[in-house]
Structure 1
Amino acid sequence: MKRFLCGLLAALCLAGGAARAAESSRPNIVFIFADDHTTQAVSAYGEKRHLIDTPNLDRIAKEGMRFDRCLVTNSICGPSRATILTGKYSHMNGFYNNSNSRFDSSQTTFPKLLKAAGYTTAIVGKWHLVSDPVGFDHWHILPGQGFYYNPPMIRNGQRVQHTGYVSDIITDLTIDWLENRDKSKPFM
């Protein structure tokens, strides 16, 4: 399960031709991070006991890239995110647990590196690092763990209230950002 968390749920899917930015040969990057999944939750992994069919994720995996051999170095939510963002173990990045840690955003992160390389960057959904996202052109995050229904969120530093189910809201916000981003740049 831990291998899978980094494998798909922290899967870095490099989208194919249809998803390339209009004037760039650099690939777009879709980074999917979801807590507490197993390989059976996504049919792209070909598990005999898969739970549901996931044709859209399967297509992204087929047209892009899917990691099959990776692991998380910390299986707790916030610390896991910090290790993925920085590439450092928790004892090096300073984020140990969800109760009294705060992410040091002065550290180098892969979104900062991508932004410096000309990518337009965004994060939508659960952040859970007790700090504002840095290295993103756009961010629309849940404060803390977030609520499943009618969640308050933070958009580029401003609190906003949403109505509806959080997964639907995050999906709609992500699609809206993708449709309205600067199409001359690759995205992450």
Structure 2
Amino acid sequence: MAEVTGVISAIITIVEASIKIYRTAADASDLPHSFSDAASRLPLIQDTLKLAADGLVEDAMEPESHAPLSTVLEKCTDRAAVLLDIFQTVIIPAEATRAERYIRALRTIPQAEKVEILMNGIMSDLQLLATNYTVKAATRKQMERLISKIEVDDEPYHSSIILNNFGPGKQVVHNGTGGQQNIVIGTATQINGSFNGGTFNFYEK
């Protein structure tokens, strides 16, 4: 029992860390929708996990019920940890330098869809946890009500990143078909890569 409670508490701590990172972001409005969607659901996920930890049945931890629960919690822990790692890598803290903002902005592109996939996985884990009989019946009902409040975004994923240069200096743009060669004239920062959709805004300060 103590082991299971400890794992749930660890997941709660990981989720709390992700919430704090998002809340202290320099400008979370620039992040893809999947990040804000995840951040809006994390507090309810945290509350659902707290209910589960408090509602475990003392004498129900038999081998046949313990194994499925351990598997669910293991997967949920892994997903929450990966989500936290993405938040730490991508979300820009208020004290970030200009160069760090550029780098983190680029890292956002491949991670947006991954955040959505992780959140859907965590939701599935919670639903399985809410049906496990190691959790009290009354608690399971409370968990189901909370889970129903956690809105799942059914919109298809769209990346939303565009690179714009608002500072001084020359800019070479390719508007045709085929590959693009980015050319830096003089002293400037160059960013190369193949991207689909979305917007980056760079400002000279």
Q: Under a length normalisation based on structure 1, what TM-score does the superposition of the two structures give?
A: 0.22
Q: Under a length normalisation based on structure 2, what TM-score does the superposition of the two structures give?
A: 0.21
Higher strand share: 1
